[in-house]
Amino acid sequence: LEFEYQERLRAERIAKENAQAFRRLVESVVDYAIYMLDTEGRVATWNAGAERIKGFAAEEIVGEHFSRFYTEEDQAKGEPAAVLALATAEGRYETEAWRVRKDGSRFWCSIIIDPIRNDDGVLIGFAKVTRDISDRREAEQALERARQALFQAQKMDAVGQLAGGIAHDFNNMLAGVIGGLELLKR
């Protein structure tokens, strides 16, 4: 009995240490905003990445509704509630979209929302991961603009070659006409 008690204490201590290590891991990530929402969409936890990306300190945002990160247009469409409903129904929600920082600036980000359920399957909240991918999006857009410019340049080159070929053929015909006129003139 004493052995079982000691083993249970040891297992509880290990579980507690693992939970603390995991919490420290999540809190130290700075490239991803990783936080939890309650079932209503209020921010329950906040990591350093969320503070860096979104601009809010934990004490400013914990307890606030996550809809404040959405653009006014998306809020008006009811998107915050819709994405929580989708995450709940489908087991995950993933997208890329505009979001708003504390200072009002917008950034393009990758978003994942996973429902969190207890052992009985009851929804107890949501895990939310956001990554600022504005730089990647800008690079993709610059690449697309370069492709379009190349396509336009290739079209112009083709038109130029065609025009040059037509001019050459016209010159050849014109040379024959001029030669005939020279003969007639003599």
Give the strand pairing for 93-100 and 123-132.
Answer: unpaired
pLDDT value at residue 22: 62
Measured CA to CA, the distance from residue 43 to residue 62 in angstroms comes to 5
Averaged pLDDT, 157-181 = 78
Averaged pLDDT, 109-117 = 96
pLDDT value at residue 1: 72
**Amino acid at the residue 22:** F
Tens-digit pLDDT profile for residues 3-38: 888 888 887 887 777 767 666 665 666 688 999 999
What's the pTM?
A: 0.65
Q: DSSP character for 41?
A: S
Q: How many Cβ atoms from other residues are within 10 Å of residue 58's Cβ?
A: 15
Answer for the pair 106, 100: CB distance below 8 angstroms, yes or no. yes
Distance of alpha carbon 144 from the chain centroid: 17
